[in-house]
């Protein structure tokens, strides 16, 4: 896989060495067991896969190269490059400005842009409408487009099945930048609908089975389907694609459920289902899948608590938290700064979007056992910093240089 040039401050020789050893010992990525860091009174189990993915490193490389090569020019980010506050703060400190917030609200009007300005498209991609606005101004977006190739893979797959007459169901968070972009790129080819979770998939299934009146469709899916979407007609043949940072198992469960609805509704034999339901399993992001599978293997280990490191608005990080919370007290933090002391940690509730401080988060015992992972937009240097902070706070723990 390509080696990217990213700022050294995001890298960690310590973590890089761990990843290198695991990769050399498991080239086919069949071993998802965690790496154990035995630090005396502190034991940390690191997930087999975590941290920067291909798309994130690619975006960071393009962004910093753009800054270095265009001194004196006005450089804008369409919205957050990735969902990590430290990386975004570094970019802003370099003189970049955001045009929009993560919800798509304008911070700087398009009317203020000039043809020789540079606008960087984030890793999530953007909508066709925004691309057209930028081109109309004369801005060249192709050279500074950091859209993740695995997001583009979803768009391409949606186009392929649309050409065969299937409508598209997008599993994603409706307001997320990537979902908005995927909807736009799909909608131009086929009737498209966004659903958030299995609960909404079940409601959709009830419409498809005739158990709900289509006149009420807008009650559940307002502003989340194509302008000329006809649910009675456009749900006869469908394919499911996803926002790449969603739980892969959730996307597959939704796809399996809707496939069964179509099978039962039409009384289809297994070999006839493909005429009504497109298989899109190949659109699931490898990094998202690896990180989530690694966390499931991590959770097989005995531990006192789990720590997930990532930006608060990082979708893929929040899903890792969701998995860990099923078994252990879990703390979602952004960096070592959230570990306030040996007794207090500042966490973030991804469901309520509220910050809190948990006292006595470390158990009083001979050896504290912690499971740890990080999101796809979290630099390895932050993971190392969190581990180092814990070694300083857990009495009797070895430092990383002693381990």
Q: Which residue has the tokens 């390895």?
A: 380
Q: Which of 72-78's residues contact partners 24+ apart within 8 Å by CB, and which partners?
A: 73/116, 73/117, 73/118, 74/114, 74/117, 74/118, 75/117, 75/118, 75/120, 76/108, 76/113, 76/117, 76/118, 76/119, 76/120, 77/119, 77/120, 77/122, 78/119, 78/120, 78/121, 78/122, 78/126, 78/130
366, 43 in Cβ contact below 8 A?
A: no
Residue 13 to residues 42, 83, 295: CA-CA distances in angstroms? 21, 23, 23
First to last CA, the chain: 30
Residue recorded with tokens 């930006």: 311
Name the token pair of 15: 């973590």
- Give the three-class secondary structure for 196: coil
Q: Examine the residue annotation and report whether 232 is marked as an active-site residue of this protein.
A: no
Q: Which residue has the tokens 């599993």?
A: 171
**In what helix (H) or strand (E) does residue 53 lie, and over which residues does it extend?**
none
DSSP 189: T
The single residue of 131, 177, 178, 322 carrying the catalytic annotation is: 178
Q: Which residues contact 214 (CB under 8 A, 6 or more apart)?
A: 207, 231, 232
**From the centroid of its chain, how far is CA 224?**
20
The distance of Cα 298 from the centroid of its chain, to the nearest Å, equals: 19
Nearest 5°: phi and psi at 154? Answer: -65, -45
Question: What are the angstrom distances between the C-alpha of 193 and each of 166, 183, 188, 201, 297?
Answer: 12, 8, 12, 11, 33
Residues labelled as active-site residues = 178
């Amino acid at each position: 896989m390509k080696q990217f040039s990213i700022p050294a401050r995001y890298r960690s020789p310590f973590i890089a060495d761990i990843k290198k050893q695991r990769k050399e010992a498991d080239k086919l990525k069949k071993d998802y067991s965690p790496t154990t860091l035995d630090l005396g009174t502190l034991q940390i189990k690191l997930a087999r896969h975590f941290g920067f993915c291909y798309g994130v490193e690619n975006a960071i490389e393009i962004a910093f190269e753009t800054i270095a090569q265009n001194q004196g020019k006005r450089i804008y980010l369409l919205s957050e490059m990735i969902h990590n506050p430290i990386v975004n703060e570094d970019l802003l400190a370099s003189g970049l400005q955001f045009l929009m917030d993560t919800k798509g609200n304008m911070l700087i009007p398009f009317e203020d842009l000039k043809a020789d300005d540079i606008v960087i498209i984030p890793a999530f991609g953007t909508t066709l409408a925004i691309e057209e606005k930028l081109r109309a101004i004369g801005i060249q977006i192709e050279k500074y487009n950091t859209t993740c190739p695995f997001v583009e893979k979803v768009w391409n797959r949606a186009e392929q099945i649309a050409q065969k007459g299937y409508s598209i169901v997008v599993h994603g968070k409706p307001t997320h930048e990537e979902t908005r972009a995927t909807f736009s790129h799909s909608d131009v080819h086929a009737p498209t609908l966004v659903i958030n979770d299995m609960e909404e998939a079940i409601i959709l299934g009830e419409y498809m089975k005739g158990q709900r009146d289509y006149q009420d469709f807008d009650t559940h899916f307002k502003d989340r389907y194509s302008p000329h979407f006809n649910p009675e007609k456009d749900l006869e043949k469908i394919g499911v694609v996803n926002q790449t940072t969603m739980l892969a198992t959730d996307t597959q469960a939704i796809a399996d459920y809707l496939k069964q609805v179509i099978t039962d509704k039409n009384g289809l034999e297994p070999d006839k289902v493909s005429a009504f339901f497109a298989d899109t399993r190949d659109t699931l992001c490898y990094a998202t899948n690896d990180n989530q599978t690694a966390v499931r293997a991590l959770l097989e280990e005995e531990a006192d608590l789990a720590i997930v490191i990532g930006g608060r608005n990082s979708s893929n990080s929040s899903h890792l938290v969701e998995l860990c919370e099923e078994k252990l007290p879990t703390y979602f933090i952004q960096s070592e700064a959230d570990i306030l002391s040996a007794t207090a940690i500042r966490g973030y509730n991804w469901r309520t979007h509220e910050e809190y401080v948990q006292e006595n988060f470390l158990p009083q015992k001979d050896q504290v056992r912690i499971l740890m992972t990080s999101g796809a937009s979290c630099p390895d240097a932050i993971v190392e910093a969190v581990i180092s902070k814990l070694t300083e706070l857990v009495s009797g723990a070895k430092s990383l240089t002693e381990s």
